[in-house]
A and B are shown apart, each in its own frame.
Chain A
Amino acid sequence: MITVVKRPEPSRAFSLAAPLLAVLATMVFGGLLFALLGKDPLAAIVTIFWEPLFGEFAFFYRPQLLIKGAPLVLIAIGLSLGFKAGIWNIGAEGQYIMGALFGAGAGLAFYPAESIFILPLMVLAGAFGGWIWAMIPAVLKVKFGTNEILVSLMLVYVAEQFLASMSLGLLKNPEGFGFPGSRNLQQYPSAHNAELIAGTGMHWGVVAAMIAVIFAYVLLARHRLGFAIRVTGQAPRAAAFAGVRPARLVLFCLGMSGLLAGLAGMFEVSGPAGQVTIDFNVGYGFTAIIVAFLGRLHPVGILLAGLLMALTYIGGDIAQSKLGLPAAAIQVFQGMLLFFLLAFDLFTNYRLRLGRTEVA
């Protein structure tokens, strides 16, 4: 008989090992899935994890790692602050969209004027867009005790409709021959979030993601607010005695995650994506949830997890064109990763004991 016994202290070793085990298990079961789909599992795994980094066209794919990783890390850092404190913002996708709309809108308002102030203004507008969208669930939770999970999620669907309305209406390119979608910001130098070093994929969003990692690290390790976040997540009652004000924490965590998601959206729309279109969002806001958990809600972990997730996106694209692996397969693959991680996490807080059950 195997029994599960709670550890007095969470195991650090297992906390670090769980993500690695989860990745391994996902590779095995993902391989099985690919085999069921009639693909060579080994070739598929190699294509996803090896090809983008060291394959023949790695020079093309490596920059993509930064381009796809930056929004994931940026959003996940914000989410992790809330998740740590038991505040669940799962509407990052909506905040990402609103950030992109506000950012692009601010830039396009000045078209075709050229000024070095336009991009910084767009950054502010994007951050504001994400922040204000996240403040809706935050304020409702603080004022009325409304469930932030449901409200933030509902707002994703509202944002998606708003995006459709904007790309067909207000932000539509007047010279676009009637096609939906805004002007291409890549052709508007003042509003273009261009590569800082050509051919590296390094744009302002990547810089922002790095700053966010450092900021979150310092906040959690050194700042009083970081302490409040950690203690609220681990022992809400103790947090109350320590003088933590839950309402302020909710406003901060949701606001911060919205702000970062908005930034991610703004950097994406003004850089790699280029324009506001109906299907501009590709689910980074949801994948970032996996990134946050896979990175153990720790800033450095999230950085690594974000890069890994970016790798599966790129590898998935390659596998799609080379092996004909369906696009949905990679989504399943990412979902599986979260499953295994949550399962293996048992061993962080509990250990197994073989033998007969004791009578308490």
Chain B
Amino acid sequence: MDLSAINPILFVASFFVAATPLIFAATGELVVEKSGVLNLGVEGMMIMGAICGFATAVESGSPLLGFAAAAAGGAALSLLFAFLTQVMLANQVASGLALTLFGLGFSALLGQSYVGVKPPRMADLDFGPLSDIPVLGPVFFSHDLIVYLGLGLVVVVWAVLKFTRAGLTLRAVGENHDAAHALGFKVKRMRTLAIMFGGACAGLGGAYISLIRVPQWTEGMTAGVGWIALALVVFASWRPFRVLLGAYLFGGLVQLQLNLQGAGVAIPVEYLAMSPYVFTIVVLVFLSRSRSSAPGSLGRIFHASS
């Protein structure tokens, strides 16, 4: 074992990279759940975003265009979920699972010709002298645009939910859809928009994995990140800044585990690789007691006549 092979500064800097997919997916899902909808299809939307973004970036040569396509792909898939749950009044758990199963299959189909292809590289943002500050420079000012976009997203979602009329309406719809309906709010429209926002965010998160984090395309490459994002929303008790905190915690753990694998610790690779999932379970156990903070109408079907 050689722990000195781990560079502490690069290690901490890599937290941001590992956390970004989770930040996008979990923040998107947070908005969806705040509107009272439980979308278990995050994994499916992420992987769709991963392939749409990858394919577009490879074909066009522009990673940014790739990310735009990823958001569109994730949102398009989420529209299927919105149709099932809001129009056809289907069970949200089953529909979310269907979305994940379908997304995994469909992405594999789309991605056949992209296995082994290298995507165009996304340049890191140029902060000029800021990136030359020792320690702080590499940790905070050496990342690509998307990392900062993720941070911005959390702030915007927090502000919109807390301070705007739209945010208030969204929360009202999620807390009690019958009351919101009686007040004249368009429950279904609000929820459909929230679901699409969640889809777009999940798509961006997925594309971050395929375009920057890995970067290549393999089938099922999101490997449960979408599910961890779902757990993260519970962990965060539906608060945006706690999502951020949780994502860094998970990101840190994933990086630690990868670094330990690289350093050749005496623990077998498989047991290190299962640690993020075990950790998720442990965290869920400790935080399940505070379920009262869940939106009141979460997972319930809304039908105006009933």
Contact = CB atoms under 8 A, between A and B. Distances in A.
Interface of A: 4-6, 37, 88, 90, 136, 140, 144-147, 149-151, 153-158, 161-162, 164-165, 168-169, 286, 289-290, 293, 326-336, 338-339, 342-343, 345-346, 349-350, 360
Given A155-B277, A157-B277, A339-B80, A146 B288 contact: yes
Contacts of B271: 161, 165
Given A155-B277, A157-B224, A342-B88, A328 B112 contact: yes
10 contacts: A140-B281, A140-B285, A145-B289, A149-B40, A150-B280, A154-B278, A161-B271, A330-B105, A333-B105, A345-B90
Interface string B158-200: 0000000000000000000000000000000000000000000
A156 B220 CA distance: 14
Contact of B224 (A6, A154, A286): A154
B280 A335 contact: no
A355 to B, nearest CB: 15
A144 B285 contact: yes
B306 interface: yes
Nearest to A290: B101
For the side of the interface on B, what is the size category?
A: 35 or more
B135 interface: no
B241 interface: no
Contacts, number: 140
B interface SS class: helix
B303 A150 contact: no
B305 A158 contact: no
Interface string B273-306: 1100110110011001101000000000001011
B109 A90 contact: no
Nearest to B284: A146
B18 to A, nearest CB: 16
B223 interface: yes
A289 B97 CA distance: 9
Given A144-B289, A149-B40, A90 B97 contact: yes
A150 B91 CA distance: 17
A293 B40 CA distance: 16
Most B CB contacts (10 A, CB to CB) among A157, A164, A326, A327 go to: A157
